[in-house]
Structures are given as structure tokens and as C-alpha cells.
Structure 1
Amino acid sequence: MHFVDEAPIYVEAGKGGNGIVAFRREKFIPFGGPNGGDGGDGGSVILQADRNLNTLVDFRYTKHFKAQNGHSGMGQQKTGSAGEDLVILVPVGTTVTDTDTLEFLGDLTEHGQKLVVAQGGRHGLGNTHFKSSRNRTPRQCTPGEAGEERNLMLELKVLADVGLLGLPNAGKSSLISAVSAARPKVANYPFTTLYPNLGVVRVSPESSFVMADIPGLIEGAAEGAGLGIKFLKHLSRTGLLLHVVDIAPPDESDPVDSIRIIEKEMEKYSDELLGKERWLVLNKIDLLPAEEAQALCDRIVETIGWSGPVYRISAAQREGTEQLVRDISYALEAKRQAQFAADDAEAVAVARRQVEEDFDF
């Protein structure tokens, strides 16, 4: 399956049904009067998040979506049936933008969440509504309104707790393979990873988190070089970034330079991304003697002035990965608890303000 994370589509809501002009014609009932019914409302176009989808590939060829029109009214004050809404399933994590107005319409982050992106047209009125003491035989009605039409851009940002960041061949795919059931392609050449991979990391039967691996970055990515810059948006939702570094690259380049390259491209892309919590993961320590690997790791940390958490691992040998996973789990749980406390405090503050307004304190 192709991974598609952007898709332009055109949506058109249904037109409202027309109201009609009709008069009552029954035996023994003279001057029956108007009885034209209203039309039905047009159907709306609705996007609904579905956790069973993980790509926008379905929109690669089908780009035009139209909801059903409402039906016209009928005599005997019968209202026309409403047009059916058109529900379009999209992956969880899809954002929606109107490309004509650049208006951000919504973000579908939960399974089953719905977003109306094109409102159906209102129904027209039958001549019954225009009856008055001065106009007992109205011959006027109103047509149904047109439904909304929009050109939309759907953009998928994968939902993950932890994101992997680094140069090509740093060992990101090996790491996600070592700690989860994900099986991305692993090879000894650049850009083995061509699209994001998600893996569920199970720490215990009751605890797990989602890890995302994106294609590696290279210098100049912010100007369009390589593949990674296209997928950096997928890291914008993560709570924690793991900066994976190859301490023994085949080209004998300095790992310090590779760290600075990534930081520079992150800064060009987004200050928000650069400001996210980031842990340094020094990978492939199995390729050097233990003392030499330790000395090199110490030099890297000292040279870049790193003050955050540092982990020395071998993803291929699963050395150090268990401790890394446990610490990630603890950190994510602490973040969740802090968020719960902040939400509770905000709820209390809102309730207090409402009471003060109600009782004019």
C-alpha cells in the first residue's frame, strides 16, 4: 500500500429542495386554499475519523464528492425528503484546510469524530407560508438554497507518543524493530525508509506507547533535499523526540556534525519542533570496543553541551533498549498525569468564574 499523507479534494453539499405552489381541490370544500409543501434540506458532506485507516491513498483517484440533493415539496402540505448526508472516512490525525480561503476547518484526532465540511442547502418554502388575510391564494414559493462547495486539502499527521529523528542509516528503523512489532525495511544504504512507520511498544500488559519512524534528514532538507522534510510534520504531534545518532558512521564523519545538521534543519522547519523535549540516543555502540565507545559518547555529549537524557544503545543487539523503553514509559505517564492535573485546575477555575458571574461576587 502506498503511504499518502496529503490529498486535495472537492466537496459539494446537496441543494435544498424547492417549495411548490399547490391548492387544495376537494369536493364539498370550496376555497380550499394553498397547500404547497416545503422542500427537503440538502445533504451535508461530513468527514469522520476511522482508526482502521492509516493513509489517504483512497483519495488519490477519487477527488470529487457530492451529497444528495433535497427533494421538492408536494401538494397536501407534504414536505420533500431531505438529501442524505455523505460521510467520508479519513484516518485519525487528519487535518482539513479550505484551499481557497486558507481557513483551517478542523483536526480529527479521535476515532469516530466527525466534521461537517460542506453544509447542505436549506429547503425552499411552499406557498402555504405566504397565506395571509390579504393574500388567500398566494402563488409564490421559494427555491431551495445551493449547498456549500469547497476545495479542501486533507493532511495526515500521524499520532504517536514518541518520534525518531536522525540522519539516514542512524538506526531508527532498527530501533523501532527492536522495541515493537513494526517491521520496516532495514538495509545499509540511505533512505531505506521512504514513509513513516508506526510501532506499538508494549512495556507491560497494561502499559504501551506508539513510536513513529520517519525518513532520515540530510543537510539542506529545509530547501527540499532528501525525503525527511516532507514528513517532519508527523513529529509535530509527538510528546517526545528521540534523536538517534550513529556513533560509528561508515564514512567516518563526526557524530557531532550529524547532530548539528539535524538541529539546524529542525530550526529551519519549526521553532516549535526544535523546542520539543528531545533525548539523545547514541546508537551502534557494539561496533567499537567498550572503552572506546564510552570515551566517544562522552566526547559527543561534552562537545555539544548536551544537558538532557542520554542513552547509549545498540539497536541491532538490543543492548540498552529495555532501559530506554522503561524510561520513556515513565516520562510519558508523568506527562499524562501533569496534563490531567492541569485540566482539572482549569475546570475548577472555569467553574469558579461561572459561580462568581452567576452570583455577582
Structure 2
Amino acid sequence: MKPFDYQRLAAVEDLGQRVSEGDRFLAGGTNLVDLMKHEIETPERLLDISRLELGQIEDGGDGGLKVGALVTNTALASDARVRERWPLLSAALLAGATAQLRNRATTGGNLLQRTRCYYFYDTARPCNKRNPGEGCGALDGFNRIHAILGTSEQCIATHPSDMAVAMVALDAVVNLRAPDGSERQLPVEELHRLPGDEPQRDTVLEPGELITGVQLPAPPPGRQLYRKVRDRSSYAFALVSVGAILDVVDGKVDSVRIAFGGVAHKPWRARKAEQALQGQKATEENFLMAADAELADAKGYGGNDFKIPLARRTLAAVLRDAAGAEGETTA
């Protein structure tokens, strides 16, 4: 591991103008420390934010909830308000990692975890995300876990977070603070980037910006479900995951929100599928039609071709289950 300096911050205000490009924020460290061991991340200084007053879950007004950036995944998943009113989020969190990691991993860190692409972690292999201009080993290599939507010739890696998929479906908003003290809000859906020509940039954060929390709006009507398809039942990243909120009235889709995980460089909001379903009968045929609309531009790279039909079937199954007694299952 490359030597680095360490500084513990006592208050958000301590950020001041002292954050430099070579700094990284450290909270739970469940991803960053691994990256440092591989010398994929080589910060000049770690700014320990684990003692900041950002570990609370509070009522956010208008039926919403304010979640501090340092709230652990375990605390958020087990909060009674989240379990009752945002079960999609609780289920997504519990589908991630292991209990030990969830006890350390934080809300802010979960959003900012980097890809688990084999070539990104193997410094002997080419990776544009790790070293821009080096090439993408996954394009013609072992790409079973890689993206089928929003890819570029520079990168086909996927974002690994389960929590972020749920937050995108729930229209959550992330709170950001810059080193100069200015603050802004951003939908979680807009936090992450597609790779384009700059796959090394995972998010739209400015240098030194700190996630201070996430705001959950009031839960939308309908049933919330999260399903994660993976190679083993725990401690595995999604091949495909679906977070959905479906409200069926008199057999028809009154409102719907859908987000995919495991299929793109960012949590993928399925806007085309949502539009295709609005006002339609809640039938298996229409659920598959909506999946086809969303996946029309999906592209496999050999080893991950199976993800396209898998995503189609998974979305239809989740919507069918969410429709429950209100929906029909005719094909």
C-alpha cells in the first residue's frame, strides 16, 4: 500500500478549503481500503469523516425521511420507519454484502463504491477506468457480470450497489457539501455517470464534494419489491436486480417506478418500461412488452448475452408479484 497522510475531521465545517485533489474521504472503508491495498486508489491523504454528526435518521417533513451519510446499512435496513414505509430500500440493503460489512458500510459510501469489474481490480490487465487510454479488457474478455445498457467502447463495467437501485426507484435526493461550504441537492438518479469517453469518472461530484445525507420523499402508492438474481444467495453482486413500485387500480397500472441494477454503469431507471405500462392492464403480456421496450437497445458482449432475457424475465416476474391479486397473469 502506498504511504498516505491521515487526518480526522471533527465537524463538517473543518473541510474548509483544505480538501485537495489527492484527498479521499474515509468512513466505513469497506471499499476504499481494498482499493488502496491493490494500489488502484492511491490517495495522498485520508480525511476520516467517521466522527462527523451525520449518523442520524430523522423525519424529513412531508412524510419523508432524512438519512445521514454515516448511517450504516444495517441501521438503515432495520429502521422501523424504513421497513414499514420504504420496504424496497430495506430489502435492497439486506440483499447486499454480509452482515459484517453492512455493520460498517455507510449510506454515503455505498453510493460511491466503485465497480467490481475483474479487469478494474487486476492491475496486470488493461482498464480504461483505472488507467484512461489503456483499453478495456472486458470487451473481448470474461464479461459475464458486465453491462448491457448504456455502455461505450471505453467501458462495460457495472455499478454494484443494491441500495442505490432502490433509491433511484424511490426518487431519493442526495445532499452535497463543497469545500467552500456551499450546498446543493441532486437526485440519486443523476449522481452516477454512464462511461462515455471518461469511464474513470463514476459520478458527477466536483472535487472535494462530500455527501452529507440522502432525503427519501414520502413513499409512493403501490407495492414495493426488490429482487436480486445472483450466482449465490449471499455475498455476491447482482447479475440483474429489479426494484419496482407498482400501483394497480381496477386491474390497470395507475403508477409505476422501475430501476435495474447489474445492467449498467449506474443504477438504471427504466423510464421506457414505465411509460409503456402507464394505464395498461396489469397482465403478463404487458409486463413483457414493457421489458422489451426498455431492453430494445441492450447489447451483450458474448459472456453476458444471457443478461438480456434474464432482465426481461426478472422484470416481468417482479411486476407480476407486485400486481398481486389486482393483476392478471394471462400471457
For the aligned pair, the TM-score class normalised by the smaller chain equals under 0.3
Which structure has the larger Rg over C-alpha atoms? Answer: 1
TM-score where L is the length of structure 1: 0.22
Q: Quick one: higher RCO (CA 8 Å, sep 6+), 1 or 2?
A: 2
